[in-house]
Amino acid sequence: MIVEKAEKVLEKYRLCDHCLGRLFAKLGKGTNEERGKAVRFVLNMERSARGLEPIAEPEECELCHNVFDRIPEFVEMMKKASEGIEFETFLVGSRFPEEIREKEKAIWEEFGIETAEPINREFNRELGKAFGRATGKETSKESDVVFIVEPFSGKIELQINPVYVYGCYRKLVRGIPQTPLPDFEESVASIICRAFSKAFGGKCVFKGAGREDVDVRMLGNGRPFIVEVKRPKKRKVGLKKVADEINASGKIEVLNLHFVSAKEAEEVLTKNHRKEYLALVLVEEGVTPEEAEEVARKLTGLEIYQRTPWRVRKSRADKVRVKRVYEAEARWIDEKHFELRLVTDGGLYIKELISGDKGRTKPSVSDLLGKKAWCEKLDVLNILDEDESENFING
């Protein structure tokens, strides 16, 4: 049946060995060109036995127009398109004219062929193998770059996939926003991205796992973040050198930098961590050591109903969030001050937990004291995983 179908097709269409073999791509092993040569050889033997002229491979294939002969040319074009770009893995894609894809499908339907594969699939595979042999690079689904080749226009589009780096940052000083804001010369993001853009030669996008206010320090083990470097020219970058440049600022310190996948980056940003805080509480009416300790005792294990704080109402949905305080410890400072060390759910606004935010957070430290209380200073001490927070609570 294979030879019979091939003869009928070739009597009507002038096809090269690639396009002939591709009609039977799902049968046997080897390349489509090898398959096409074999089918044509057997067919011509049978035609010779019947006293018929052989059907030779045409000078120009009327389906692909000998595009496979141009693969060495496309390899050189891909090399030129990727000059100056560091990569180890790649994929090849292609865009063929609609009329070629439609003509191919019409041949399948006309002769009832169900064993074929599309022309772009063979082209991508053969061009990928040739480029790999010429450069020593490897194909991979998780590729560094993707070449999109338009064989008949000669256009090559190079898609450079992003690099993702995980780390944790410590903000050592107050007065720096996490991301750029008017009236601030720099931010956590700008200090970090400056070093990354310089090292990788691409555009840096900073994404923090939560954020702290401008006047809040981020200490301890640091806040997780992801840096996405778009269209990087370099990928083999020493992250220690990047960290050293950031840490030299004296304002921001980064820890544990390492490369991650896009999926791992998303998981970091969507995970809701518990947090450990240290707040300096001001009570203008005065506070005793006993009152401070009583507040901490009442806060421990307490469920907090917090309506979106007044100060962020324009940038957050106005709704009531239910959060929990897992642990609270108090240390009396003087007649008007005490420290509160807290472990809470992520997303609980600590300043409003203390002040009450005019009744939008209930209960609050102000409620529990029966006096107006304010957060004078606040530090994030640690971002905790489940195991770490359990150790803190039980330890």
For residue range 14-50, what is the model confidence (pLDDT) as tens digits? 999 999 999 999 998 999 999 999 999 999 999 999 9
The pLDDT mean for the chain works out to 95
Indicate if the pLDDT at residue 389 is higher than 50: no
> Are the C-beta atoms of 296 and 343 separated by less than 8 Å?
no
> Quick check: 316 pLDDT over 90?
no
pLDDT tens per residue, range 257-299: 999 999 999 998 888 889 999 999 999 999 999 999 999 999 9
pLDDT 10s digits, 66-100: 999 999 999 999 999 999 999 999 999 999 999 99
* pLDDT of 395: 38
Question: Can you give the pTM of this predicted structure?
Answer: 0.85
The 8-class DSSP code of residue 72 comes to: H
What is the token pair recorded at 387?
């195991």
Cis bond upstream, residue 177 (ω within 30): no
pLDDT for residue 394: 39
* Band (391; pLDDT cuts 50, 70, 90): very low
**Is residue 125 scored above 90 in pLDDT?**
yes
Partnered with residue 227 across adjacent β-strands are 165, 206
Count CA within 13 A, CB hemisphere, residue 89: 9
> CA-CA distance, 78 to 158, in Å (whole number)?
8
DSSP letter for each residue of 231-260:
S-S-----HHHHHHHHHTTSSEEEEEEEEE
Residues catalogued as catalytic: 213
How far apart CA 247 and CA 221 sit, in angstroms, is: 15
pLDDT of 258 reads 97
What pLDDT does 325 receive? 98
Listed range (96-110, 304-318, 338-352) with the worst mean pLDDT: 304-318
Q: For the residues 227-237, what does the mean pLDDT come to?
A: 97
What are the pLDDT digits (tens) for 143-152? 999 999 999 9
Run of H or E including 281: strand 274-282
| Residue 94 pLDDT | 97
Q: Show binding-site residues for substrate.
A: 277, 349
Using the predicted structure, report yes or no on whether residue 197 has a pLDDT greater than 60.
yes
pLDDT category of residue 386 using cuts at 50, 70 and 90: low
Long-range CB pairs of 70-76 (<8 Å, 24+ gap) are 70/151, 71/126, 71/127, 71/130, 72/130, 74/127, 74/130, 74/149, 74/151, 74/156, 75/127, 75/130, 75/131, 75/134
The confidence band for 315, taking pLDDT boundaries of 50, 70 and 90, is confident
Averaged pLDDT, 124-138: 98
Average pLDDT score over residue span 103-127: 97
**pLDDT value at position 273?**
84
First-to-last CA distance in the chain?
A: 77
Which residue type, as a one-letter code, is found at position 179?
T
Residue 271's pLDDT is: 83
